[in-house]
Chain A
Amino acid sequence: MNIVSLLYRNAFRHKLRTFLTILGMTIAILAFGLLRTVISAWYAGVEASSASRLVTRSSISIIFPLPISYKDKIKEIKGVKIVSYGNWFGGYYIDEKNFFPNFAVEPKSYLELYPEFVLSPEQKAAFIRDRRGFIAGRKLVSRFGWKLGDTVTLKGTIFPGNWDFVLRGIYSGKYDTTDETQFIFNWEYLNETMKKTVPRRADMAGFYMIGLTDANMASDVSVEIDKTFKNSIAETLTETEKAFQLGFVSMTEAIVIAIQLVSFVVIIIIMAVVANTMAMTARERIGEYSVLKTLGFGKWHIAGLIFGESLFITMTGCAIGILLTFPAAKIFSSALSAFFPIFFVSVKTIYMDIISAVIVGIAASIIPTYRSINVRIADGLRKIG
């Protein structure tokens, strides 16, 4: 018998109360973990962005295109290794609810610039060769059950009409943070169609993606690109890919802040619940703690018993909560794949779960411990009987 075994048995003295507190902690950690995962998913694009890539767009707004002639001028700037370009297509498959990101890009340079999109050399060659070809991420292909060679029709919104594409490749992500729900097709197909149907919209790129020879030159190259097109009919704004992605996230920052606040409110609520449990527990045992003190147990022993019991409850709830977060995140991921293409429980989230549980366990037992160790033994003994 030792103090730890007493702590453990104390924790299960009121089985229902302990069970309900652990259940509360489990639900809180599950909710906290899922909310933190939603926030991570929100920033997934930012996380996936590279420090050695820049994005150039119209300085007025992303919706204003830039002339395709900028490509060669950008290429000449010192520090630029690769230039690719593309347009946000904004089409949907069969029904508007089937949303997924779809872009028209220059295939060769794009795939060179984004090595995290992994596909076989044969599929890569087939995609570059076929102007109506497209590649799609593993998750997107699986979502709609497409097979290589299938013709897929997207309904254009920004570029109206029905657009037929042939699936030439299925990429998988090199990293966990790589989006596997994208639909990428040949910019030439879009441009040729525009030349025929709306000539004024032809030979225009929505954005340029620039690979650098050295990531440290990002700032200098950005300034140089924007300087090159200063006072032209389409001035540019060049920023790192991360800043570009953050620009999108900042549009929805209020939602992210709200989710963050809710996630912390969940923790504060469970802290109050555990504090209440520990206050009841300590009050009931004030006599016993006095008995222990008469036997020679010191303040640290009493504090250890209360803190230990509180941490035992919160850490048990935390462990169960973490275990449940994974299947719950999987369900979320499949249900919300259109909105959160990258939705997985990160190690950082697990650490935050554990830290939260430790903070809750400690904070909830501060006042009960203070009261228990400071009560006079004679007063504590009077509570018995």
Chain B
Amino acid sequence: METKKPIVEIKNLFKSYRRGSQIIPVLQDITLDIAEGEFMALMGPSGSGKSTLLNLIAGIDKADSGTIRIGDVDITKLSETELALWRSSNVGFIFQFYNLIPVLTAFENVELPLTLTGLSRKQRKEHVSMALEVVNLSDRMDHYPGQLSGGQQQRVAIARAVVTDPAILVADEPTGDLDRVSAEDILGLMERLVHELGKTIIMVTHDPRAAKKAHIIKHLDKGVLNEYSQSAL
């Protein structure tokens, strides 16, 4: 059986927070590989460190020690400015509360990350139209977030996440604010992104139904990572 090359390689990762004089360990000696095209769910109780791990993989937080290699880049070695640039082309973000900019239309929200690239207006339009087509929202491109349902807003957020064609997508409770039908819809869409576009998705969730869609489920408890079997759900 062919072993897929890991796109995310995490070695001996430690992360702690300081509260006053107290140091609170959040992640302890995390070592993890995620293969390209894999859909991984991170589960665990509140405060277990799963969002922190997701933020570290996405390059929006800094580890105390250890390495995180995404593709060929050790992101723990990058400066804040380098990380910002790296994020813009390598990671797509899907948040629980969609986090769309309310004064921009669906089209403009999806276009936002592309404004950091050197693409022309015409090229940007093509990319945005394609991304909105993937999430099946081409007919709502001129709607503002306030004019869309929660599920539709999350689909716009997914289009924004994939529009720069990043290798990995990180999703923090993507169905946490959705009803059951919309949640199923979003999870189906995420599965399509993995199967049809070959994206690697790392998803933090509390929802066992959402986690069941993933290929691998990892469980974090008090900062320590454990394997979890699908059948345990």
A positions within 8 Å CB-CB of B? 1-3, 6, 9-10, 13, 287-288, 291-299, 376-378, 381, 384-385
Interfacial chain B residues near A287, Cβ < 8 Å: 99
Q: Which of B51, B81, B93, B103 contacts A298 (CB 8 A)?
A: B81
Whether the Cβ atoms of A296 and B89 lie closer than 8 Å is: yes
In the complex formed, the residue of A with least CB distance to B105 is: A1
Mind listing 12 A-B residue pairs with CB under 8 Å? A9-B103, A9-B104, A13-B102, A292-B112, A294-B60, A296-B87, A296-B88, A298-B81, A378-B61, A384-B97, A385-B97, A385-B177
Interfacial chain B residues near A381, Cβ < 8 Å: 95, 99
In the bound assembly, the distance between CA atoms of A295 and B114 in angstroms comes to 10
Interfacial chain B residues near A298, Cβ < 8 Å: 81, 84-85
Whether the Cβ atoms of A1 and B113 lie closer than 8 Å is: no
Whether the Cβ atoms of B101 and A294 lie closer than 8 Å is: no
In the bound assembly, the distance between CA atoms of A6 and B101 in angstroms comes to 9
Q: Which of A9, A13, A291, A296 contacts B95 (CB 8 A)?
A: A291
Whether the Cβ atoms of B60 and A377 lie closer than 8 Å is: yes
In the bound assembly, the distance between CA atoms of A298 and B113 in angstroms comes to 12
In the complex formed, the residue of A with least CB distance to B87 is: A296
B positions within 8 Å CB-CB of A? 51-52, 55, 58, 60-61, 80-81, 84-85, 87-89, 93, 95-97, 99, 101-104, 107-108, 111-113, 115-116, 160, 177
B209 nearest CB across to chain A (Å)? 21
Interfacial chain B residues near A296, Cβ < 8 Å: 84-85, 87-89, 113, 116
In the complex formed, the residue of B with least CB distance to A3 is: B115
A287 nearest CB across to chain B (Å)? 7
Whether the Cβ atoms of B103 and A13 lie closer than 8 Å is: yes
In the bound assembly, the distance between CA atoms of A298 and B86 in angstroms comes to 11
Given contact pairs A296-B84, A384-B95, a sample of 7 additional A-B residue pairs in the complex whose CB atoms are under 8 Å apart: A6-B101, A288-B101, A291-B99, A295-B112, A296-B87, A296-B113, A378-B61
In the complex formed, the residue of B with least CB distance to A301 is: B116
Whether the Cβ atoms of A293 and B84 lie closer than 8 Å is: yes
A297 nearest CB across to chain B (Å)? 7
Interfacial chain A residues near B81, Cβ < 8 Å: 298-299
In the bound assembly, the distance between CA atoms of A288 and B109 in angstroms comes to 12
Interfacial chain B residues near A299, Cβ < 8 Å: 80-81
Whether the Cβ atoms of A293 and B99 lie closer than 8 Å is: no
Interfacial chain B residues near A377, Cβ < 8 Å: 55, 60-61
Interfacial chain B residues near A385, Cβ < 8 Å: 96-97, 177
Whether the Cβ atoms of B111 and A376 lie closer than 8 Å is: no
In the bound assembly, the distance between CA atoms of A287 and B98 in angstroms comes to 12
Whether the Cβ atoms of A6 and B103 lie closer than 8 Å is: yes
Tell whether A2 pairs with B95 under 8 Å between CB atoms, given A293-B60, A295-B87.
no
Tell whether A295 pairs with B88 under 8 Å between CB atoms, given A1-B111, A3-B115, A377-B60.
yes
A321 nearest CB across to chain B (Å)? 27
Interfacial chain A residues near B95, Cβ < 8 Å: 291, 381, 384
